[in-house]
Amino acid sequence: MYEEFFRFKRKPFSIAPDPAFLFLSDRHREALAHLMYGLETDGGFVLVTGEVGTGKTTLIRSLVERIPHGVDVAFMLNPRVTARELLESLCEELGIPEAHDEAHSVKHYVDRLTKHLLRTHELGRSTVMIIDEAQNLSPSVLEQIRLLTNLETNERKLLRIILLGQPELAEVLDRREMRQLAQRVTARYHLAPLDSDETRAYIAHRLTLAGGSANLFTAAACRRVHNLSGGIPRLINVIADRALLGAYVEGKPRVRASVVSRAGQEVVGRRIDARQWIVVGLGVAALVGVAWGYLKLPDESTPPQAPAATEMAPIARPRADSGDAGNLSPATAPVAGAEPSRLPTAQPSPGAAVTGQVAAPTLQAAAPPGSAQGPVETPASGTSTEIARPAGRSASETQHAAYQRVFALWGQPMDDSDIPCNVATRVGLQCLRDTGGWSALLRTDRPAVLELWGADAQPFYGAATAIGPDGVDIDIDGSVERVARDTLEQHWYGAFVVLWRMPPDYRGRLQVGDAGPTAAWLRRQLAAVQATKLESEHPDVFDQQLRDALVRFQRSAGVVPDGVAGPATWIALDSARGSGDPRIVGAH
């Protein structure tokens, strides 16, 4: 209904677990890393828990797309079964032929499963069973699952098991009668809800992927969504979807906090009757009057004093990150002269502008993998608390100026008539767009073109050229200012574009089975970074040995350990080997 009004290509807040919309906050990234570990470990259980709607099923759908070569996966989506039914479903998922002339007992299914697992083991394959909603498993079925881990050879377990469920699952495993199974849990992780900054980045992430503007929700509206949803992604989707409908009905180009409140009343039902507010207000007023009369009688001999300035708490460090985000092809990259706004042509209503906050922000730069984080410091007094579009400059003009600054830091000229990402490919670089916010910017650690928003309905652009403990250097149309982080976040919704250097003969993402000079180059670089030997009869083939080395590196670098070399992996590898590419963390 509202898609055409806001110019979406698809609905941004569907509650379907679509992996295309996966938002990798730091905690979701860690949960996905645990799931990837479950695909690779030689035995035991991997346990991932989380409240309803935190995104466990979406992570599983994303995991399906990252399944390594040589791994067979059986998904168990209906845990309310008996032990025999579980084994029957497992055999069906693995495609084990049915023997109709035998009795269908538990032993029958276990024997068939054992033969199948031994056969696939001889072929060099491994098998993983993933059980969703595992809190619904009965104790007898959990015991049968534990017994399945006894299927093994002298060298390894034949079946790996991943359990996903609500927090009650962990409580079940903590029971004394479940201690044998609990002792076989080799890794566990609890997926917590998003914090306020992650909620804001999550909303911007989904809006952008749907083809809309990251600025559709004001900062106050994002905070209201977080308060109403508690940071649960499913509730965020429901409330945000209803809020977009409300803004559409009112003909507003942006979603304000008041619209979110009405949406929350309809969706969540958190509403206090007006008469209750009157009673509460009168009571509070009476108490304040009594307290003031008895405890703060005025002294006419004392001159009045100016009220103290209100102190505001620093904004917490966002943790959102979008992971191995995709490249921008020249056809889809931002270009000079193009209209970047997705907002309707109507102007925002008065008061809809995002205003800055004068606060003492907390800023922490990302340290290289394996090193300690630096101390958190408050900004120096010289940092700016205002960001504004340069007078008389259009969105495309500020965008082109930001790209020129980023290209200059890479030592590459760019004329006014050039299309930025076309220039990049001619000099061995690629454009990469991300919407992961602050933590993604720190992790990428490259000069970035930031999409900024002011009081009007059009963005403007700046180049992030340095990040220090007291702020961020932003070049806007040739004017550089050190901006406090909380000020930046009032105008930046997490979208940015960086340049990164392509490896030799780059043709796209690299995974098991690919071959060519890029695979050989990756093998040499990983061997050097990890100080190990990765010798092979076919060094230009991406084999399992190379994948294992890549997964180890991805874990150490904070990249999703999926064994696929994408842009985030290439950037991390260039940083680890000290390639000399321009960096922004600690740069001055």
DSSP string, 319-348: -B---SPPEEPTTTS--TT-----S-SSPP
Share of the chain above pLDDT 70, in %: 78
- 26-191 and 195-267 have identical folds: no
**327-501 carries CATH number 3.30.300.30:** no
**Residue 97 above 70 pLDDT?**
yes
Could you tell me the two tokens for 507? 């043709």
| pLDDT (0 to 100) of residue 366 | 38
Which are the contacts of 417, defined by CB distance < 8 A and separation ≥ 6?
A: 336
Please name which of 116, 128, 11 lies closest in space to residue 66, comparing C-alpha atoms. 128
**Residue 329 above 50 pLDDT?**
no
Instruction: Give the pLDDT confidence of 197-244 residue by residue, as tens digits.
Output: 889 889 999 998 898 888 899 889 999 999 999 999 999 999 999 999
CA angle 187, 196, 482 (to 5 degrees): 110
Q: Please check whether residue 130 is in contact with residue 66, taking contact to mean a CB–CB distance below 8 angstroms.
A: no
| pLDDT (0 to 100) of residue 103 | 57
| pLDDT (0 to 100) of residue 296 | 40
CA separation, residue 324 to residues 24, 147, 435, 509, 565 (Å):
9, 37, 11, 10, 9
Q: What gap in Å lies between CA 507 and CA 259, rounded to an integer?
A: 46
Instruction: Give me the DSSP letters along 177-190.
Output: GGHHHHTTEEEEEE
| pLDDT (0 to 100) of residue 389 | 86
Instruction: Give the pLDDT confidence of 25-47 residue by residue, as tens digits.
Output: 888 888 888 888 888 766 678 89
**Residue 260 above 90 pLDDT?**
yes
DSSP type of residue 79? -
Q: What gap in Å lies between CA 458 and CA 416, rounded to an integer?
A: 21
| pLDDT (0 to 100) of residue 382 | 57
CA separation, residue 392 to residues 318, 398, 472, 524 (Å):
33, 10, 24, 51
pLDDT mean over 378-400: 75
Instruction: Give me the DSSP letters along 41-81.
Output: -SSSEEEEEE-TTSSHHHHHHHHHTTPPTTEEEEEE-----
Bigger pLDDT: 287 vs 187: 187
Could you tell me the two tokens for 560? 């999703």
| pLDDT (0 to 100) of residue 345 | 35
- Helix, strand, or coil (residue 276): helix
Rounded to the nearest 5 percent, the helix, strand and coil shares of the chain are: 40, 15, 45
| pLDDT (0 to 100) of residue 405 | 95
Angle between helices 544-557 and 26-40 (to 10 degrees): 150
| pLDDT (0 to 100) of residue 570 | 93
Q: Please check whether residue 466 is in contact with residue 473, taking contact to mean a CB–CB distance below 8 angstroms.
A: yes
Q: What gap in Å lies between CA 333 and CA 88, rounded to an integer?
A: 50
Q: Please check whether residue 215 is in contact with residue 208, taking contact to mean a CB–CB distance below 8 angstroms.
A: no
pLDDT mean over 418-443: 88
Characterize the bridge pairing of strands 126-131 and 429-434: unpaired
- Helix, strand, or coil (residue 76): strand
State the distance between the two ends of the chain, measured CA to CA, in whole angstroms. Answer: 49
| pLDDT (0 to 100) of residue 385 | 61
Q: What count of residues does the chain have?
A: 588
Instruction: Give the pLDDT confidence of 452-503 residue by residue, as tens digits.
Output: 988 776 789 999 999 998 889 999 999 999 999 888 888 888 889 999 999 9
Tell me the domain boundaries of the chain: 26-191, 195-267, 327-501, 517-565
Q: What gap in Å lies between CA 88 and CA 415, rounded to an integer?
A: 66
| pLDDT (0 to 100) of residue 588 | 61
**Residue 346 above 60 pLDDT?**
no
CA separation, residue 305 to residues 56, 299, 302, 312 (Å):
55, 12, 9, 21
Q: Please check whether residue 257 is in contact with residue 220, taking contact to mean a CB–CB distance below 8 angstroms.
A: yes
**pTM of the full predicted structure?**
0.65
φ, ψ (nearest 5 deg) of residue 7? 60, 40
| pLDDT (0 to 100) of residue 522 | 95
Which are the contacts of 505, defined by CB distance < 8 A and separation ≥ 6?
A: 516, 517, 518, 521
Instruction: Give the pLDDT confidence of 550-575 residue by residue, as tens digits.
Output: 999 998 888 888 888 999 999 999 99
Please name which of 482, 450, 488, 477 lies closest in space to residue 466, comparing C-alpha atoms. 482
What is the rounded average pLDDT for all residues in the chain? Answer: 79
Instruction: Give the pLDDT confidence of 496-529 residue by residue, as tens digits.
Output: 999 999 998 988 889 888 999 999 999 999 999 9
| Confidence tier at 315 by pLDDT (50, 70, 90) | very low
pLDDT mean over 88-116: 82
Which are the contacts of 157, defined by CB distance < 8 A and separation ≥ 6?
A: 42, 43, 44, 149, 151
pLDDT mean over 427-445: 88
| Confidence tier at 290 by pLDDT (50, 70, 90) | very low
pLDDT mean over 445-452: 94
Bigger pLDDT: 241 vs 62: 241
Q: Please check whether residue 536 is in contact with residue 527, taking contact to mean a CB–CB distance below 8 angstroms.
A: no
| Confidence tier at 333 by pLDDT (50, 70, 90) | very low
| Confidence tier at 61 by pLDDT (50, 70, 90) | confident
Q: What gap in Å lies between CA 586 and CA 477, rounded to an integer?
A: 22
Class for the domain spanning 26-191:
alpha beta
| pLDDT (0 to 100) of residue 203 | 93
| pLDDT (0 to 100) of residue 102 | 55
**Residue 363 above 60 pLDDT?**
no
Instruction: Give me the DSSP letters along 147-180.
Output: HHTT-B-SS-BSEEEEEEE-THHHHHHTSGGGHH
Q: What CATH topology corresponds to 195-267?
A: Helicase, Ruva Protein; domain 3 (1.10.8)
Q: What gap in Å lies between CA 111 and CA 118, rounded to an integer?
A: 11
